Amino acid sequence: MKKLICFLIVFLANVNWVLAAHPVDELKQEILWWSKEGIKTDEQGKPYNGVIKEKFDGGEIEAPYKNGLVNGMEVIKYDDGTKIEAMLENGLLEGDIRIFYPSGKVKAECKFTKGECITSEKTYYEDGSLYLERDCMAGEFTGYLKAYYPNGNLDVMYTIVGGVPNGVSKHYDEDGNLVSEVDYIDGLRQGVAKMYYPDGNLQTELTYVNNVENGPIKEYYENGKLHKSYALKDGVPEGETKEYYRSGRLYSTALFKDKATHNLKFYYDEPDEKVVLWVAGLMSFALAFAISYFITAKYSRRK
């Protein structure tokens, strides 16, 4: 179970990192921040015409104005060498916007019209290979989002609607093997999720309800035999759990309730012989029997 939890933490952290890794979003916010005051005016209060250069903490910006609004190429340069270039028309993004690494190579790019994206956003590794692409339709990031490893193999792919995951998400390792599949509805994990071994055999299947593990979980050995079966309620084990040997023979059983183990938990060896009986319930019974025996014997002697 600990192995499964660790795997989920790593996998979800990877997915959330991909979801957050959109330089074009940051770029758009940075560009439009300079136009937040609306029409820029000169000293006489008339709409400004001309080029404005301004320094800010960490860099400088240069933008051409016409009738008080940015019209043309706006350039933002940062002290670390990063640069943003964007075309605007009447204060709205119109045309290509790009962000550059300090080396001068393109880090991310997208095309806009009337302030809305009309092409896929693409983000690159510094060597120029594709890192991430996100489809855009009618001003919304809708379609597929794909992230890639430096070697070009697919890392994560899922469907997005309105900028959030909707549909099946698939995660692969660097060798191209499918690692997991998770269903999303409105950005939340819902339904059955599956994890796989590198050879393609099923490793784990579990159920999500509103982003939380709820329902049966089954873990398998590489040979396809069932390893463990149990259930989670709000992410916590609840109910009966069973564990098996690689041969398929039962290894142990237990009952989880209120975040604790209750009743009997039996261990077996491969021939199905019971070799250990180790249970809190049995220990309680043995202790109660011993106390009862002691009291009865003591009472009998007094008679």
For 180-197, write each residue's pLDDT tens digit. 999 999 989 999 999 999
Q: Which pLDDT does position 174 carry in this prediction?
A: 94
Q: Which pLDDT does position 255 carry in this prediction?
A: 83
* Distances from the Cα of 279 to the Cα of 131, 145, 265, 287, angstroms: 53, 50, 6, 12
Q: Which pLDDT does position 232 carry in this prediction?
A: 87
Which range has highest mean pLDDT (51-60, 123-132, 136-145, 158-167)?
123-132
pLDDT in tens, 102-114: 999 999 998 888 8
Spatial distance between the Cα atoms of 193 and 189, rounded to a whole number of angstroms: 8
Q: Which pLDDT does position 117 carry in this prediction?
A: 81
Strands 250-257 and 236-237: unpaired
Q: Which residue has the higher pLDDT, 227 or 13?
A: 227
What is the rounded average pLDDT for all residues in the chain? 79
0.75 exceeded by the pTM?
no
For residues 76-102, average pLDDT: 90
Contact indicator for 219, 246 with CB cutoff of 8 Å: no
Contacts of 244 (CB under 8 A, 6+ apart): 225, 226, 227, 228, 250, 251
Spatial distance between the Cα atoms of 206 and 225, rounded to a whole number of angstroms: 16
Strands 274-277 and 266-268: antiparallel
Instruction: Give the tokens for residue 100.
Output: 């550059």
Residue 289 three-state SS: helix
Q: What share of the chain in percent tops pLDDT 90?
A: 36
Helices and strands counted in the chain (H then E) = 3, 27
pLDDT in tens, 35-49: 555 688 888 888 889
Spatial distance between the Cα atoms of 158 and 182, rounded to a whole number of angstroms: 9
Instruction: Give the tokens for residue 271.
Output: 């021939």
For residues 257-278, average pLDDT: 56
Q: How confident is the model at residue 285 (pLDDT cuts 50, 70, 90)?
A: very low
For residues 139-143, average pLDDT: 78
